[in-house]
Structure 1
Amino acid sequence: MLELIRRIVKCDRGATAVEYGLIISLIVIAMIASLGNFAGSTQSMWNQVSNKITSSTQ
């Protein structure tokens, strides 16, 4: 029984998996934030193009 407890205490596979999960979640959050900024600037650009086309045809 004592040997089983020692093996459980020494095992760090679960901790490593949790660390990798936290790192991946931080990367995903950063990607979502950057894509949100990119989408806003792209939408602004296409609105300017649309306005220029509309004003040139009138």
Structure 2
Amino acid sequence: MLEMMKRFVRDEEGVTAIEYGLIASLVAVAIIVGATALGTKLNAMFTYIAGLLKSS
């Protein structure tokens, strides 16, 4: 029983999976933030161009 507990404490596979999950979630958040910022800038640019076309 003691040997099983020692092996369980030394086992790092679960920790690695958690680390990969955290990295994946941070990458997803970065993509979402970047896409939102890009979408906002594109919307502003197209609104500006539409305003120029209307005034012509």
- TM-score, normalised with respect to structure 1: 0.87
User: In the alignment, which residue of structure 1 is the partner of 2:33?
Assistant: 33
User: In the alignment, which residue of structure 2 is the partner of 1:6?
Assistant: 6
Q: Which amino acid aligns with 2:18?
A: V
Tell me if 1:45 matches 2:45.
yes
RMSD: 0.9
Q: In structure 2, how many angstroms separate the alpha carbons of the residues matched to 1:3 and 1:44? A: 64
Q: Name structure 2 gaps, 5 residues minimum.
A: none
Deviation at 1:52, TM superposition (A): 1.1
- TM-score, normalised with respect to structure 2: 0.90
Q: Name structure 1 gaps, 5 residues minimum.
A: none
Deviation at 1:3, TM superposition (A): 1.6
User: Alignment identity in percent?
Assistant: 36
* Deviation per residue, 1:23-47 (Å, 9 max, x gap): 1111111111111110110001110
> Alignment partner of 1:49: what SS?
helix
User: In the alignment, which residue of structure 2 is the partner of 1:55?
Assistant: 55
Q: May I ask how many residue pairs the two structures share in their alignment?
A: 56
